[in-house]
């Protein structure tokens, strides 16, 4: 039997995940005021109170003793993926106590179904993140057998393929205290152990990593993902300008090179970022000095779908 993470270890792992490429850039109020940079209206508006989840694990729910967590046998984990290599669950019900959303992702080339506002924030970030070449929400189910023979069915929240070809599966919770719950510790420990044997990584992601300013900046870029642009004229012009500038130009120059209305030029640049052609710094709300670079080269995204294809099981 494999020893699961204790509550303290799970909490530490959750916080370490904030350094992952899957996590959004953190908004730094001090960095936003360095030099001659003028803050944007979004930064000057009064901050809303931090939105808390409807339910947070209380002291009585949190893991106190490692003995309270079931253990799993490494060989007693089975996978099941969808026949179309997409989502395995659509949790749309009228009486859900959390919000649900459906989006079509150009990067994943499939419909994506999210549960709660935190998964939606991550979907927007994955869609424009130049370090991610493919992703899928609700990608695969794990059937985990514990030491008593009981089977738990656990659906992973998301799977991500990085530009390097690496695979990362993740569980998303609103705050780190959810990773203290015994049933979450059991399921995530089993998933982490099983995926490691398959050559994939597992991370615990927190929804509270999204600052209000960062989430709004990412949402603005995501809203322009369908803006039309000419791959030869528009992107070719931007590519030439970036190469001539030593690998980076500021946003003012990029919009001037495209020409036309500044708002239309900015929308085209956002669409190019969603298409993984360029990379715009979203750690701060965009200003004239925001750097624009070419997106890093990526392998053809296939590792994630190949992984899911191995575990397609026909329904009985």
Domain for residue 45, yes or no?
Answer: no
Express each pLDDT in 169-200 by its tens digit.
999 998 888 888 888 888 888 899 889 988 99
The beta strand positions in 129-226, using DSSP E, are 132-137, 140-146, 151-155, 158-162, 167-173, 201-206
Domain for residue 177, yes or no?
Answer: yes
Class of residue 40 by CB neighbours under 10 A (exposed 0-12, middle 13-18, buried 19+): middle
pLDDT category of residue 11 using cuts at 50, 70 and 90: very low
Domain for residue 77, yes or no?
Answer: yes
Domain for residue 182, yes or no?
Answer: yes
Domain for residue 150, yes or no?
Answer: yes
Domain for residue 271, yes or no?
Answer: no
Domain for residue 282, yes or no?
Answer: no
What is the pTM for the complete model shown?
A: 0.84
> Which domain does 96 fall in, by range?
7-25+61-211+302-309
Mean of pLDDT over the chain: 81
**Nearest alpha carbon to residue 3 among 76, 71, 62:** 71
Of 28-42, 53-67, 114-128, 212-226, which gets the smallest average pLDDT?
Answer: 53-67
Q: Side by side, which strands form the sheet with 167-173?
A: 132-137, 158-162, 167-173, 201-206
Sign, CA torsion 52/57/58/64: negative
- For 30, the 3-state DSSP assignment is coil
Class of residue 46 by CB neighbours under 10 A (exposed 0-12, middle 13-18, buried 19+): exposed
Number of domains within the chain: 1
CATH number at residue 148: 3.40.1350
Express each pLDDT in 189-235 by its tens digit.
889 988 998 899 999 998 888 888 888 999 999 999 999 999 999 99
Cβ-based neighbour number of residue 90 at 10 Å: 12
**Look-up of token digits 């009985």:** 316
Domain for residue 278, yes or no?
Answer: no
């Amino acid at each position: 039997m494999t020893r699961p993470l204790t509550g303290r270890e799970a909490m530490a792992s959750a916080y370490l995940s904030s350094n992952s490429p899957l996590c959004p850039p953190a908004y730094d109020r001090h960095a936003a005021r360095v030099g001659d940079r003028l803050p944007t209206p979004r930064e000057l508006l009064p901050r809303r109170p931090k939105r808390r989840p409807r339910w947070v694990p209380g002291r009585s729910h949190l893991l106190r003793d490692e003995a309270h967590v079931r253990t799993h046998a490494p060989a007693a984990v089975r996978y099941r993926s969808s026949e179309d290599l997409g989502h395995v669950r659509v949790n749309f019900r009228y009486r859900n106590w959390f919000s649900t959303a459906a989006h079509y992702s150009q990067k994943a080339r499939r419909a994506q179904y999210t549960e709660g506002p935190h998964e939606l924030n991550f979907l927007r970030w994955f869609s424009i993140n130049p370090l991610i070449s493919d992703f899928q929400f609700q990608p695969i189910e794990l059937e985990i057998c514990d030491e008593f023979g009981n089977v738990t069915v656990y659906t992973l929240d998301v799977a991500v393929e990085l530009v390097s070809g690496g695979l990362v599966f993740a569980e998303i919770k609103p705050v780190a205290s959810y990773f203290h719950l015994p049933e979450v510790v059991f399921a995530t420990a089993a998933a982490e152990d099983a995926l490691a044997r398959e050559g994939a990584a597992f991370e615990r992601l927190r929804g509270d990593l999204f600052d209000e300013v960062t989430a709004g900046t990412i949402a603005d870029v995501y809203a322009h993902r369908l803006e039309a642009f000419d791959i030869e004229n528009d992107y070719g012009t931007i590519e030439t300008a970036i190469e001539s500038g030593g690998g980076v130009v500021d946003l003012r120059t990029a919009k001037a090179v495209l020409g036309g209305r500044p708002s239309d030029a900015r929308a085209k640049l956002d669409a190019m970022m969603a298409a993984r052609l360029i990379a715009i710094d979203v750690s701060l709300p965009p200003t004239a000095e925001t750097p624009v670079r070419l997106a890093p080269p990526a392998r053809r995204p296939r590792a994630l779908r190949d992984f899911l294809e191995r575990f397609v099981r026909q329904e009985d």
